[in-house]
Amino acid sequence: MSIQTLNTWVDVPEGSDFSIYNLPYGIFSTNGDQPRAGVAIGTQILDLNYLQENDLLTSVDLHEGIFKKEVLNDFMALGKPVWSSLRKRLLELLDETDEELKPHAEKAFVKQSIAKMHLPVKVGDYTDFYSSEEHATNVGIMFRGKDNALMPNWKHIPVGYHGRSSSIIVSGEPFHRPQGQILPKDADRPVFGPTNLLDIELEMAFITGGATKLGETVSTENAEDYIFGMVLFNDWSARDIQKWEYVPLGPFLGKSFASSISPWIVTMDVLQYFKVDGPKQNPEVLPYLNFEGKKSYDINLEVYLKPQGGEEQKICSSNHKYLYWNMAQQLAHQTVNGCNINAGDMYGSGTISGKEPDSYGSLLELTWAGNNPIQLNDGSERKFLKDHDTIVIKGYCENDEIRIGFGEVRTEILPAKQ
């Protein structure tokens, strides 16, 4: 797809995640002010509430005060035509030939370095999928053996579960090591205590903007009309708590203690330039999961581990395009039974692993259940995470013409509360 060349009068450092092509949405505050909506460009945030209050967005069909709200849900609920209209207007104001916004620059822009970022949406419902064949196979081999790695349904449906939305947190917010029931090796009764097997899950999540009524369905053909954008997503796991509880009903306390997201939502308007073919699906899927065209996205992902007082060290490089089930199929499957969706709903991809060992998206895989510890530059090693470790996930898209990024999701692990 051909990309129109854009130039801006705003200073954007070379290689910035937030180039003129990106313009991701977030919620920020400064000096304790009320959180409000903005878009990132370079090292700054363009204050959307300021633009609206100063009549710079009158060409866009917006509700009064919509960017003064503490979440983006009401804006996203206006639908794709409004999202695209606002993007067009912002590109006009930021274009190198602009003379409308320049006089407002001192008040319209805020330095990212002095802003506090907040959860960009109120997450009503959260679904976590399990859509990486490599990850599902690796975990299946560990627990069931090579001959039974994938469950019989895995290549027929985008497997998922309904998760806990209240514990989704934004980058920079730490969480305490979770506690729960654990069955020690060779024991027949569980004990209670902090997890010993705290793990990452390298994921991305998409957020819906459109809504449906109960009983309605979304097809793979029009699924993208309902998807506002994407964020980086770390869906933490307490593997020992999870192992004891997940039969027969699946994830519960081993997952619901925290999931971390990046603060900037990168929209589908820009991600369209990074569409690629996904893995070939075999056997053939049922008709409601069929799709035409490119539905996967070339998004480079990196995971870094920073021990307390130490330096960040890359432990994984993966890519969103490795996912077997794409977002259109995930949303179609979510709604095929008539389940209604709303603006602000979040959908995790599931752990994203590639074929090579250094592309595995969890410590469970990277260390192969702790049998092959990761060696850190400070001489220590990790099978699973320790207190005060910090995990950083970064993501970006790049081709011969443009580069855009997601920023990062950074989270420190605090000791269990006593």
Q: Is the peptide bond before 120 cis (omega within 30 degrees of 0)?
A: no
Containing domain of residue 356, as a range? 126-414
List the pLDDT tens digit at each of the 418 positions of the chain: 678 899 999 999 999 999 999 999 999 999 989 999 999 999 999 999 999 999 999 999 999 999 999 999 999 999 999 999 999 999 999 999 999 999 999 999 999 999 999 999 999 999 999 999 999 999 999 989 999 999 999 999 999 999 999 999 999 999 999 999 999 999 999 999 999 999 999 999 999 998 999 999 999 999 999 999 999 999 999 999 999 999 999 999 999 999 999 999 999 999 999 999 999 999 999 999 999 999 999 999 999 999 999 999 999 999 999 999 999 999 999 999 999 999 999 999 999 999 999 999 999 999 999 999 999 999 999 999 999 999 999 999 999 999 999 999 999 999 999 8
| Residues 191 and 72 placed together within one structural domain of the fold | no
- Please indicate, yes or no, if residue 17 is contained in any of the structural domains: no
- Please indicate, yes or no, if residue 387 is contained in any of the structural domains: yes
- Please indicate, yes or no, if residue 101 is contained in any of the structural domains: yes
pLDDT computed for residue 418 by the predictor:
84
CATH of the domain at 106: 2.30.30.230
- Please indicate, yes or no, if residue 262 is contained in any of the structural domains: yes
Which of 93, 118, 143 is a domain's end point? 118
Which residue out of 135, 320, 333, 388 is catalytically annotated? 135
Counting residues of the chain whose pLDDT is more than 70, the rounded percentage is 100
* Sign of the Cα pseudo-torsion (154, 409, 118, 82, in order): negative
- Please indicate, yes or no, if residue 10 is contained in any of the structural domains: no
pLDDT computed for residue 1 by the predictor:
60
261: burial class by Cβ within 10 Å (0-12, 13-18, 19+)?
buried
SS3 94: helix
| Residues 275 and 396 placed together within one structural domain of the fold | yes
Task: Round to whole Å and give the CA distance between 335 and 121.
Answer: 21
Query: Over the stretch 176-199, which tens digit does the pLDDT of each residue have?
Result: 999 999 999 999 999 999 999 999
Which of 92, 118, 144 is a domain's end point? 118
18: tokens are: 């937030």
| Residues 108 and 231 placed together within one structural domain of the fold | no
| Residues 41 and 177 placed together within one structural domain of the fold | no
| Residues 94 and 143 placed together within one structural domain of the fold | no
Which of 94, 118, 142 is a domain's end point? 118
| Residues 161 and 293 placed together within one structural domain of the fold | yes
- Please indicate, yes or no, if residue 20 is contained in any of the structural domains: no
Q: What total of structural domains would you count in the chain?
A: 2
| Residues 343 and 284 placed together within one structural domain of the fold | yes
* Contact yes or no for 331/208 (Cβ under 8 A): yes
CATH of the domain at 237: 3.90.850.10
For strands 198-199 and 237-238, give the pairing: antiparallel
Element (H, E) at 313: strand 313-319
Mean per-residue pLDDT over the chain, rounded = 97
E-assigned strands of 25-167? 25-29, 36-41, 44-47, 109-111, 116-118, 126-129, 160-163
Task: Round to whole Å and give the CA distance between 49 and 36.
Answer: 7
What pTM, to 2 d.p., does this model score? 0.97
Counting residues of the chain whose pLDDT is more than 90, the rounded percentage is 97
| Residues 195 and 271 placed together within one structural domain of the fold | yes
E-assigned strands of 36-190? 36-41, 44-47, 109-111, 116-118, 126-129, 160-163, 168-170, 175-176, 179-182
| Residues 218 and 335 placed together within one structural domain of the fold | yes
What Cα–Cα distance (Å) separates residue 122 from each residue in 119, 165, 350?
7, 9, 21
* Contact yes or no for 384/197 (Cβ under 8 A): yes
Task: Round to whole Å and give the CA distance between 59 and 41.
Answer: 21
Active site residue 135: yes
79: tokens are: 């639908």
pLDDT computed for residue 324 by the predictor:
98
| Residues 51 and 75 placed together within one structural domain of the fold | yes
**Which amino acid appears at position 149 of this protein?**
A
What Cα–Cα distance (Å) separates residue 31 from each residue in 28, 35, 70, 110?
10, 10, 15, 11
Instruction: Report how far apart the first and last C-alpha atoms of the chain are (Å, whole number).
Output: 55
